[in-house]
Amino acid sequence: MGVTIFLFKWLGSLLDEKFHVHFLMNISVVLGVFISLYLVNEQVKKINKS
């Protein structure tokens, strides 16, 4: 979960520098959090089915 959020933060900061804006990192971090929560939720569903 932490690795996914970190990678999205890193990608967002690269995009901020490339396009000279200051909001892409925030958007990418939120996206990373949602993706991480989705992946954790899917893993919990698989564990509960077993």
Q: How far is 50 from 47, CA to CA, in rounded Å?
A: 5
**Mean pLDDT of the 28-33 span:** 97
Mean model confidence pLDDT for the chain: 96
Domain that holds residue 40: 2-49
Per-residue pLDDT, averaged over 15-38, amounts to 96
Query: Is 11 in contact with 28 (CB distance < 8 Å)?
Result: yes
What are the angstrom distances between the C-alpha of 33 and each of 10, 18, 42?
Answer: 13, 23, 14
pLDDT above 90 for 50: no
Number of structural domains the chain divides into? 1
Task: Note the helical H segments in the chain.
Answer: 2-19, 24-49
Average the pLDDT over 13-28 and give the result. Answer: 96
3 Cα distance to chain centroid: 8
Q: What is the pLDDT of residue 21?
A: 95
Angstrom distance (rounded) from CA 50 to CA 36: 22
pTM of this structure: 0.87
Predicted pLDDT of residue 25: 96
